[in-house]
Structure 1
Amino acid sequence: MFQNKQRDNKRGWNWQPWAIPICIVALWQLLGLSGWLSDRILPTPLEVVKALIHVIQDGTIFEYVAVSTKRALLGFLIGGSIAFVLGLLNGVFPIAEKFLDSSLQMVRTIPHLAMIPLVIMWFGIGETSKLFLVSLGVAFPIYLNTFHGIRSVDPGLIEMGKVYGLKGFSLFAKVILPGALANILLGIRFSLGIMWLSLIVAETIAADSGIGYMATHAREFMQMDVVVLCVILYALLGKLSDVIAKFLEQRWLQWHHNYLKR
């Protein structure tokens, strides 16, 4: 009986995750219509939708979303790749950990957003400064989880792989990396959230394009509906990133007991 219910849930629409957001939006609209919530503080959802239609008609939203997405993904690719390589290097070779890990941990303790004034002095307000901040923000969750994942692989599995004749790269590719994959993907999910957080701050402080620039420009003209729209856009892009990461987990970790398909 329980299995039949699970099959029905898979076939039908999974409405539970949307219940709380829909209730919040409905309450938000009611408070706005009743006058309990001033438009100067928080415009109603309908006003935000009108702002969305306006920016769609003039075409600016597509340009700004594309620019912000490009910055986020490029910064994630740069910082994530470097962090992944360092995590593998320090996880596989203890001698590398002795030389590199202490320095990396010291850099990790520095709040990367606090470096914005210094980064602007180094790179100006161009693309390099934003890519640097995003890359630095996403790097350490991936590094730590990759390093921890490599070191957490069951030694018994490694010995079993050696018994079956695996060694060198084949042992790494077929035993160590799959064993660490759950931790690596967890680090990617953390980094995706930090990616958008870093970009929001970078674009709001120093940008001439992107969603953050649109929010800053709207703030100067007291267009609260556009500012709220920008916040919602960041939230939706962050949610989309998390959905993609969860899809990859379910696709690549079907064999793992903690990631059985629901």
Structure 2
Amino acid sequence: MTRHGKNCTAGAVYTYHEKRKDTAASGYGTQRLRLGRDAVKDFDCCCLSLQPCRDPVVTPDGFLYEREAILQYLLQQRAELARQRKVGARGGAGGAGGGTGDMGGAHPGPSGTLPSFWIPSLTPEAGAERLRKPERAVRCPMSGRRLRAADLVPVRFCAAEPGLSRLQLLGRRERYVCAVSRDVLSNATPCAVLRPSGAVVTLECVERLIRKEMRDPLSGEPLTEADIIVLQRGGTGFAGSGTCLEAKKSRPVMQA
């Protein structure tokens, strides 16, 4: 085989490696990246700050937050919704007393054309935009469901070694254990929060022990299904963990 045959670059095959290399260099095409274990949130970290919680609380959907972070978020969202309702009330009052020839706030010129004809929402063919009424309830930033401060349940993790300082505890990989079985808690261990006591236990302990009597083993209070909150945890780095570990960024695609 000649040297030209060995270094031939005129083949009809466009390999996957060449495609990824050209995509990264050109800035076109959708990029995908597999996330590793270091990019996954630990089960005891806040969903907003992504840091280990000092005063953890959990929502009815099982999302863990730092109390200060989620309360600050609720206050900010309430203020924003109040502002939107106030602006909507002013707009409704202004629209009731305004003229009927106003289209989206733009007044037609002498010839009947709009001054900003290049804006899609102001063209004559564009229909009237329907404004949505601002909501009154704040929604959870993770689940999207309505959330109140009264819905937050305090969480009490059981330390693997009592008496350690916070810095010493954070330096350990195995920080917390099940409050009943003393099994180590991690992202690979499905666990739940018991509403009456706030204790964190494994789901295996729930199925084998707690569901038989439906009573909180720490506080002694009776339990319902709503009192057993399954804690949402991060992935483990494996595809079988049930967590999406693939990052995707959509970019323009050039087609031949």
Report TM bin, short chain.
under 0.3
TM norm structure 1: 0.24
Greater relative contact order structure (CA < 8 Å, 6+ sep): 2
- Kindly indicate which of the two structures has a greater share of residues assigned to strand: 2
- Which has the larger share of helix? 1
